[in-house]
Amino acid sequence: MVFSNPDPESVAAVPGHTGGGRRSAGKPTRGRREAPLAELNGAVAALTGAASGIGRALSVQLAKEGCHLALADLDESGLAETVGLCEGTGVKVTSRVLDVSDREAVFAWADAVVAEHGRVNLVLNNAGVALGATAEKMSIEDFEWLMGINFWGVVHGTQAFLPHLKDSGAGHVVNISSVFGLLSIPSQSAYNASKFAVRGFTDALRIELEIEDCGVSSTTVHPGGIRTNIARNARVDPSVVDLGGEVSDVGADFDRLARSSPHKAALKIIEGVRSNRRRVLIGADAVAFDIASRLPARLYQGVLVRGARRRR
Protein backbone atom coordinates (compact mmCIF):
# COMPACT_ATOMS: atom_id res chain seq x y z
CA MET A 1 0.00 0.00 0.00
CA VAL A 2 1.18 3.53 -0.75
CA PHE A 3 -0.03 6.81 0.73
CA SER A 4 1.79 9.71 -0.90
CA ASN A 5 2.46 13.30 -0.06
CA PRO A 6 1.30 15.26 -3.14
CA ASP A 7 4.43 17.39 -2.80
CA PRO A 8 6.82 16.24 -5.60
CA GLU A 9 9.75 17.03 -3.30
CA SER A 10 8.68 14.36 -0.80
CA VAL A 11 11.97 12.54 -1.32
CA ALA A 12 14.20 15.60 -1.23
CA ALA A 13 17.64 15.18 0.22
CA VAL A 14 18.07 15.33 3.98
CA PRO A 15 20.92 17.11 5.76
CA GLY A 16 24.07 15.07 5.33
CA HIS A 17 22.85 13.47 2.09
CA THR A 18 25.40 13.83 -0.68
CA GLY A 19 23.13 12.84 -3.54
CA GLY A 20 24.06 9.15 -3.48
CA GLY A 21 27.28 7.36 -2.75
CA ARG A 22 29.61 7.11 0.19
CA ARG A 23 30.93 9.99 2.24
CA SER A 24 32.99 12.16 -0.07
CA ALA A 25 36.74 12.33 0.18
CA GLY A 26 38.31 15.43 1.67
CA LYS A 27 39.28 16.50 5.13
CA PRO A 28 39.82 13.41 7.32
CA THR A 29 36.88 12.68 9.62
CA ARG A 30 38.38 9.79 11.55
CA GLY A 31 36.93 9.53 15.03
CA ARG A 32 33.98 11.87 14.42
CA ARG A 33 30.92 10.96 16.45
CA GLU A 34 28.33 13.42 15.18
CA ALA A 35 24.99 11.85 14.36
CA PRO A 36 24.51 11.02 10.66
CA LEU A 37 20.77 11.66 11.16
CA ALA A 38 20.57 14.59 13.55
CA GLU A 39 17.69 15.89 11.38
CA LEU A 40 14.85 13.49 10.56
CA ASN A 41 12.56 15.82 8.64
CA GLY A 42 12.57 14.58 5.04
CA ALA A 43 14.42 11.35 5.85
CA VAL A 44 13.10 7.91 4.83
CA ALA A 45 12.68 5.26 7.54
CA ALA A 46 12.04 1.52 7.14
CA LEU A 47 10.50 -0.15 10.19
CA THR A 48 9.55 -3.75 11.02
CA GLY A 49 7.04 -4.75 13.67
CA ALA A 50 4.98 -1.66 12.83
CA ALA A 51 1.54 -3.13 13.55
CA SER A 52 1.54 -2.49 17.30
CA GLY A 53 3.49 -1.51 20.40
CA ILE A 54 6.80 0.28 20.03
CA GLY A 55 6.71 -0.14 16.26
CA ARG A 56 3.38 1.65 15.94
CA ALA A 57 4.47 4.42 18.32
CA LEU A 58 7.70 4.90 16.37
CA SER A 59 5.79 5.07 13.09
CA VAL A 60 3.42 7.75 14.36
CA GLN A 61 6.15 9.83 15.99
CA LEU A 62 8.46 9.63 12.98
CA ALA A 63 5.60 10.74 10.73
CA LYS A 64 5.04 13.74 13.01
CA GLU A 65 8.76 14.50 12.67
CA GLY A 66 8.35 14.66 8.89
CA CYS A 67 9.98 11.30 8.20
CA HIS A 68 8.69 9.29 5.21
CA LEU A 69 7.86 5.70 6.14
CA ALA A 70 8.16 2.17 4.78
CA LEU A 71 6.35 -0.04 7.28
CA ALA A 72 6.29 -3.84 7.56
CA ASP A 73 4.64 -6.45 9.74
CA LEU A 74 3.12 -9.92 9.47
CA ASP A 75 -0.12 -8.62 11.05
CA GLU A 76 -1.94 -7.17 8.04
CA SER A 77 -4.86 -5.59 9.92
CA GLY A 78 -2.66 -4.05 12.60
CA LEU A 79 -0.32 -2.73 9.93
CA ALA A 80 -3.24 -1.09 8.10
CA GLU A 81 -4.29 0.60 11.36
CA THR A 82 -0.80 2.01 11.83
CA VAL A 83 -0.76 3.32 8.27
CA GLY A 84 -4.09 5.01 8.96
CA LEU A 85 -2.67 6.70 12.06
CA CYS A 86 0.18 8.13 9.97
CA GLU A 87 -2.07 9.55 7.27
CA GLY A 88 -2.60 13.27 7.22
CA THR A 89 0.92 14.08 8.41
CA GLY A 90 2.13 15.09 4.95
CA VAL A 91 4.62 12.23 4.57
CA LYS A 92 4.76 9.33 2.13
CA VAL A 93 3.82 5.99 3.72
CA THR A 94 4.22 2.57 2.10
CA SER A 95 3.55 -0.77 3.75
CA ARG A 96 4.17 -4.46 3.19
CA VAL A 97 3.05 -7.65 4.92
CA LEU A 98 6.37 -9.28 5.75
CA ASP A 99 7.85 -12.25 7.59
CA VAL A 100 11.25 -10.98 8.74
CA SER A 101 12.55 -14.53 9.12
CA ASP A 102 12.28 -14.90 5.32
CA ARG A 103 15.62 -13.56 4.08
CA GLU A 104 14.64 -13.29 0.41
CA ALA A 105 11.44 -11.44 1.31
CA VAL A 106 13.34 -8.93 3.45
CA PHE A 107 15.86 -8.23 0.68
CA ALA A 108 13.03 -7.83 -1.84
CA TRP A 109 11.34 -5.37 0.52
CA ALA A 110 14.55 -3.34 0.88
CA ASP A 111 14.83 -3.02 -2.90
CA ALA A 112 11.16 -2.04 -3.10
CA VAL A 113 11.60 0.65 -0.45
CA VAL A 114 14.39 2.28 -2.44
CA ALA A 115 12.36 2.00 -5.65
CA GLU A 116 9.32 3.60 -4.01
CA HIS A 117 11.05 6.25 -1.90
CA GLY A 118 14.26 6.89 -3.83
CA ARG A 119 16.51 6.07 -0.87
CA VAL A 120 16.45 5.01 2.77
CA ASN A 121 18.17 6.70 5.72
CA LEU A 122 16.92 4.93 8.83
CA VAL A 123 16.23 1.23 9.47
CA LEU A 124 14.57 0.08 12.68
CA ASN A 125 14.60 -3.71 13.16
CA ASN A 126 11.88 -3.90 15.77
CA ALA A 127 9.88 -7.09 15.06
CA GLY A 128 9.97 -9.53 17.96
CA VAL A 129 8.19 -12.41 19.72
CA ALA A 130 8.44 -14.06 23.14
CA LEU A 131 8.65 -17.62 24.42
CA GLY A 132 8.45 -18.93 27.97
CA ALA A 133 9.94 -22.40 28.53
CA THR A 134 12.78 -24.13 30.32
CA ALA A 135 15.98 -24.71 28.38
CA GLU A 136 15.46 -28.46 28.76
CA LYS A 137 11.87 -28.77 27.61
CA MET A 138 11.29 -26.05 25.02
CA SER A 139 10.80 -27.49 21.56
CA ILE A 140 13.44 -26.89 18.92
CA GLU A 141 10.63 -25.72 16.61
CA ASP A 142 9.69 -22.95 19.06
CA PHE A 143 13.34 -22.02 19.56
CA GLU A 144 13.94 -21.75 15.81
CA TRP A 145 10.72 -19.75 15.37
CA LEU A 146 11.83 -17.20 17.97
CA MET A 147 15.41 -16.94 16.70
CA GLY A 148 14.15 -16.58 13.13
CA ILE A 149 12.27 -13.42 14.06
CA ASN A 150 14.20 -11.92 16.98
CA PHE A 151 17.74 -12.50 15.73
CA TRP A 152 17.76 -13.51 12.07
CA GLY A 153 15.13 -10.88 11.33
CA VAL A 154 17.58 -8.28 12.65
CA VAL A 155 20.44 -9.75 10.62
CA HIS A 156 18.35 -9.88 7.43
CA GLY A 157 17.11 -6.32 7.90
CA THR A 158 20.57 -4.97 8.60
CA GLN A 159 22.24 -6.73 5.67
CA ALA A 160 19.43 -5.94 3.23
CA PHE A 161 19.39 -2.21 3.95
CA LEU A 162 23.00 -1.41 4.83
CA PRO A 163 24.23 -0.91 1.23
CA HIS A 164 21.29 1.44 0.62
CA LEU A 165 22.03 3.34 3.83
CA LYS A 166 25.62 3.85 2.71
CA ASP A 167 24.43 5.03 -0.69
CA SER A 168 22.20 7.62 1.00
CA GLY A 169 25.24 9.32 2.54
CA ALA A 170 23.53 9.66 5.94
CA GLY A 171 22.12 6.56 7.62
CA HIS A 172 21.39 4.81 10.89
CA VAL A 173 20.49 1.26 11.96
CA VAL A 174 18.44 0.74 15.14
CA ASN A 175 18.23 -2.84 16.43
CA ILE A 176 15.91 -3.65 19.32
CA SER A 177 17.39 -5.90 21.99
CA SER A 178 15.89 -6.00 25.51
CA VAL A 179 16.81 -5.84 29.18
CA PHE A 180 17.04 -9.60 28.68
CA GLY A 181 19.99 -8.83 26.45
CA LEU A 182 21.69 -7.53 29.61
CA LEU A 183 20.77 -10.24 32.12
CA SER A 184 19.42 -13.77 31.81
CA ILE A 185 16.42 -14.98 33.77
CA PRO A 186 14.86 -18.45 34.16
CA SER A 187 12.21 -19.59 31.65
CA GLN A 188 13.57 -17.12 29.07
CA SER A 189 16.62 -18.96 27.74
CA ALA A 190 15.55 -18.66 24.09
CA TYR A 191 14.52 -15.01 24.42
CA ASN A 192 17.73 -14.24 26.33
CA ALA A 193 19.79 -15.94 23.63
CA SER A 194 18.13 -13.93 20.86
CA LYS A 195 18.48 -10.58 22.61
CA PHE A 196 22.09 -11.15 23.69
CA ALA A 197 22.77 -12.06 20.05
CA VAL A 198 21.19 -8.81 18.84
CA ARG A 199 23.32 -6.88 21.30
CA GLY A 200 26.57 -8.55 20.23
CA PHE A 201 25.74 -8.25 16.53
CA THR A 202 24.89 -4.56 16.77
CA ASP A 203 27.85 -3.68 18.99
CA ALA A 204 30.18 -5.24 16.40
CA LEU A 205 28.32 -3.48 13.59
CA ARG A 206 28.78 -0.11 15.31
CA ILE A 207 32.54 -0.61 15.54
CA GLU A 208 32.77 -1.71 11.90
CA LEU A 209 30.82 1.34 10.73
CA GLU A 210 33.05 3.67 12.75
CA ILE A 211 36.15 2.08 11.22
CA GLU A 212 34.69 2.50 7.72
CA ASP A 213 33.67 6.11 8.46
CA CYS A 214 30.91 5.70 5.86
CA GLY A 215 28.27 8.09 7.17
CA VAL A 216 26.21 5.30 8.78
CA SER A 217 25.94 4.42 12.47
CA SER A 218 23.98 1.98 14.65
CA THR A 219 22.26 1.87 18.03
CA THR A 220 21.25 -1.02 20.29
CA VAL A 221 18.02 -0.46 22.24
CA HIS A 222 17.30 -2.21 25.55
CA PRO A 223 13.63 -1.66 26.48
CA GLY A 224 12.46 -2.61 29.94
CA GLY A 225 8.82 -3.27 30.67
CA ILE A 226 6.88 -1.54 27.89
CA ARG A 227 3.08 -1.83 27.77
CA THR A 228 2.81 -3.86 24.55
CA ASN A 229 1.22 -7.16 23.52
CA ILE A 230 4.46 -9.15 23.29
CA ALA A 231 3.98 -10.99 26.61
CA ARG A 232 0.26 -11.61 26.07
CA ASN A 233 1.04 -13.06 22.62
CA ALA A 234 3.97 -15.16 23.85
CA ARG A 235 4.18 -18.91 23.43
CA VAL A 236 4.33 -20.37 26.94
CA ASP A 237 5.30 -23.97 27.64
CA PRO A 238 3.94 -25.78 30.75
CA SER A 239 7.55 -26.35 31.84
CA VAL A 240 7.57 -22.84 33.36
CA VAL A 241 5.64 -24.37 36.28
CA ASP A 242 8.80 -26.31 37.17
CA LEU A 243 10.43 -22.95 37.93
CA GLY A 244 7.64 -21.62 40.13
CA GLY A 245 5.67 -19.87 37.39
CA GLU A 246 2.13 -20.23 36.07
CA VAL A 247 1.26 -20.46 32.39
CA SER A 248 -1.83 -18.28 32.84
CA ASP A 249 0.02 -15.57 34.80
CA VAL A 250 2.55 -14.48 32.17
CA GLY A 251 0.52 -11.65 30.64
CA ALA A 252 -0.79 -10.40 33.99
CA ASP A 253 2.66 -10.47 35.57
CA PHE A 254 4.09 -8.50 32.68
CA ASP A 255 1.31 -5.90 32.86
CA ARG A 256 2.09 -5.29 36.53
CA LEU A 257 5.77 -4.75 35.81
CA ALA A 258 5.44 -2.73 32.58
CA ARG A 259 5.96 0.89 33.59
CA SER A 260 6.74 2.64 30.30
CA SER A 261 4.45 3.46 27.39
CA PRO A 262 5.30 2.73 23.75
CA HIS A 263 5.12 6.48 23.09
CA LYS A 264 7.80 7.25 25.69
CA ALA A 265 9.92 4.42 24.29
CA ALA A 266 9.59 5.86 20.78
CA LEU A 267 10.68 9.32 21.92
CA LYS A 268 13.70 7.82 23.68
CA ILE A 269 14.72 5.81 20.61
CA ILE A 270 14.38 8.79 18.27
CA GLU A 271 16.48 10.92 20.60
CA GLY A 272 19.06 8.11 20.60
CA VAL A 273 19.24 8.31 16.81
CA ARG A 274 19.56 12.09 16.85
CA SER A 275 22.40 11.98 19.38
CA ASN A 276 24.03 8.87 17.85
CA ARG A 277 23.88 6.85 21.06
CA ARG A 278 25.56 3.44 21.13
CA ARG A 279 22.94 2.11 23.53
CA VAL A 280 19.52 3.30 24.64
CA LEU A 281 18.08 2.07 27.94
CA ILE A 282 14.32 2.54 28.27
CA GLY A 283 12.79 2.65 31.73
CA ALA A 284 14.07 2.55 35.29
CA ASP A 285 14.05 -1.24 35.16
CA ALA A 286 16.42 -1.15 32.19
CA VAL A 287 18.81 1.04 34.18
CA ALA A 288 18.55 -1.39 37.11
CA PHE A 289 19.25 -4.37 34.83
CA ASP A 290 22.25 -2.55 33.40
CA ILE A 291 23.64 -1.91 36.89
CA ALA A 292 22.97 -5.50 37.97
CA SER A 293 24.76 -6.80 34.88
CA ARG A 294 27.96 -5.19 36.16
CA LEU A 295 27.77 -6.99 39.51
CA PRO A 296 29.11 -10.51 40.20
CA ALA A 297 26.72 -12.96 38.55
CA ARG A 298 26.27 -14.96 41.75
CA LEU A 299 24.56 -11.99 43.41
CA TYR A 300 21.65 -11.42 41.02
CA GLN A 301 21.41 -15.11 40.10
CA GLY A 302 21.15 -16.00 43.77
CA VAL A 303 18.23 -13.62 44.18
CA LEU A 304 16.44 -15.21 41.21
CA VAL A 305 17.03 -18.74 42.52
CA ARG A 306 15.75 -17.94 46.01
CA GLY A 307 12.67 -16.17 44.65
CA ALA A 308 11.78 -19.04 42.32
CA ARG A 309 12.23 -21.64 45.04
CA ARG A 310 9.84 -19.78 47.33
CA ARG A 311 7.15 -19.82 44.63
CA ARG A 312 7.43 -23.55 43.91
> CB–CB of 17/37 below 8 Å?
no
DSSP element (H, E) containing 123: strand 122-125
Sheet with strand 2-3: strands edge to edge: 2-3, 93-97, 68-73, 44-48, 122-125, 171-176, 216-223, 279-282
- Of 151, 152, 191, 201, the active-site residue reads 191
- Please tell me the distance from the alpha carbon of residue 158 to that of residue 110, in angstroms, as a whole number: 10
User: Is 191 labeled as catalytic in the residue annotation?
Assistant: yes
Dihedral of alpha carbons 262, 266, 269, 275, sign? negative
- Please tell me the distance from the alpha carbon of residue 130 to that of residue 138, in angstroms, as a whole number: 12
- Please tell me the distance from the alpha carbon of residue 3 to that of residue 222, in angstroms, as a whole number: 32
DSSP element (H, E) containing 44: strand 44-48
Please identify every residue annotated as catalytic. 191
